[in-house]
Chains A and B, each alone.
Chain A
């Protein structure tokens, strides 16, 4: 179980996350929905520990001052101070916004770099799982990742994150910039990941409609604060939310 308790993030004096509390139970699929710059990616960085690296790099180059408050608790342990790679070792793996594949490496190599934490047997087994999950990748294993289409890249990115043997997968805007048909393939993979690998998922998205059928519980973020939360049914039953985030009246 992962919990964010009263997490606040300041970029200089700008409040990017304000007192955010989020809980993701084992085996759950949690949605985080909100407009551009609502703080979704910052939340993902805070959960995955990347925010510490951003903070460190900014401080080193004399850039933005980033201040963090609150705590992140994973399986009962406070991991607020753990670096991203240490959190990945605990099973907390981020599949970042805009994918960030290794562009010069082939698809197979992207996946094998992703398997840094996996044993040889795990890596092989996960590789096969990824190929079954996204059969479109089977023909592309030797292609450089930089030359793939957005949808293919997203599949590789999810596959690469799975290779790290996560217990909780953080999917940051997996549908960004994808055609609707590809969006479908990508979100369809979420229940497979949850059911067949017993991985819980936190997925963020601007536009909730394609994702909402797959989540158990969701949070709505506006200007860095969670303004609403509830189970899928509760959110779908709320007319304001429906109009604003699901695009149907």
Chain B
């Protein structure tokens, strides 16, 4: 039982990192809370499904194209809508949430309902970690969860665009003074965030089936992780994903699976009462006071 919790809690945490990291990246760089995050997650899954089943492309190509498409959707959303409301906090939330509704309810309206849509798993095999059986899709999930974090970290360290993201995240106006285009960089952030949501979808969806409701669930999970970790803090996101991932798996192991969502919502409420800036939001909170 102990190893069970250790391994599957870890998997749940990696899944949360995948779901939340894109949200955190977008907020960190552009201060835009992307409430369409969950919708992009679901939509990417359906694009891959359509390319694979309807168009008949090979699966690897469908995956690649759908992730690129999610990035494109991100850029489009930024330039068509978000750029106009950026800086108006309430409108940011309303606009992004509305975009999310359009995607999710549009899919539902188009008839994508129920559990009949599935994506194939990468491999049917099973590995044993500490004698706990883990299927290969979940092994892939763990690896990719951390690979994505590492990739973004390398990007911010070694590429010009990545450094611009990092500069913007810390002080937008100072970045502008150095010639960094705030709009272009924010669009890149939204695109990267959407692609991360896409990657998460294509790894996590094969474990179950493609359902529209997942979009709302993923959005709440991402917000919970980011609020607990401190909005915009990448280290906070990873640590909060572990805290919440393990708490979620414990509720599954000792309680009932449908309490998973309760854990997340309670975590948001508790964080907002006890420590509104989250684990790593201290500096930002200070800034707001000054």
Residues on A facing B (Cβ under 8 Å) = 48, 50, 53, 56-57, 60-62, 83-85, 88-89, 93-96, 100-105, 109, 112-114, 116-117, 160-161, 163-164
Measured in the bound complex, the distance between the Cα atoms of B89 and A147 in whole Å is 31
Evaluate contact between A88 and B170: CB separation under 8 angstroms: no
Q: In the assembly, what is the distance between CA of A167 and CA of B16, in Å?
A: 47
Q: Are B176 and A105 in contact (CB under 8 A)?
A: no
Give the Cβ gap from A88 to chain B, nearest Cβ, in Å.
3
CA distance A161 to B174 in the complex (A): 10
A88 B176 Cβ-Cβ under 8 A: yes
| Contact between chains at B178 and A109 (CB < 8 Å) | no
* Assembly CA distance A87 to B7 (angstroms): 53
Q: Does B166 contact A (CB under 8 A)?
A: yes
Enumerate chain B residues within 8 angstroms of A113, measured Cβ to Cβ: 163-164, 166-167, 175, 178, 180
Contact A103 B283 (CB under 8 A): yes
Residue of B88, B160, B176 touching A50 (CB-CB under 8 A): B176
Band of interface residues on B: 20 to 34
Establish whether residues B178 and A161, one from each chain, have CB atoms under 8 Å apart when the complex forms. yes
Chain B interface helix/strand/loop/mixed: helix
Contact with A along B181-218 (1 / 0, CB 8 A): 11000000000000000000000000000000000000
Contact of A48 with B166 at beta-carbon distance under 8 Å, contacts A56-B87, A61-B87 already known: no
CA–CA, A116 and B177, complex, Å: 11
* CB of B136 within 8 Å of the partner chain: no
Q: Are B283 and A85 in contact (CB under 8 A)?
A: no
Q: Please give me the residue from chain A that is nearest to B163 by CB atom.
A: A113
For chain B residues 269-290, which have a beta carbon within 8 Å of chain A? 283
Separation in Å of the B213 CB from the closest CB of chain A?
Answer: 34
Q: How far is the CA of A88 from the CA of B164 in the complex (A)?
A: 14
B interface residues, Cβ below 8 angstroms from A: 85-89, 157, 160, 163-164, 166-167, 170-171, 173-182, 283
A164 closest partner in B (C-beta): B178
Q: Are B164 and A116 in contact (CB under 8 A)?
A: yes
Closest chain-B Cβ to A59's Cβ sits at a distance in Å of 8
CB distance from A158 to the nearest CB of B (A): 12
Contact B167 A116 (CB under 8 A): yes
Partner of A164, one of B157, B171, B173, B179: B179
Chain A residues contacting B170 (CB-CB under 8 Å) are 102-105
- Decide: A96 and B87 in contact? CB cutoff 8 A: no
Establish whether residues A60 and B177, one from each chain, have CB atoms under 8 Å apart when the complex forms: no
CB distance from B93 to the nearest CB of A (A): 14
* Given A85-B182, A100-B171, A105-B170: A112 in contact with B163 (beta carbons within 8 A): yes
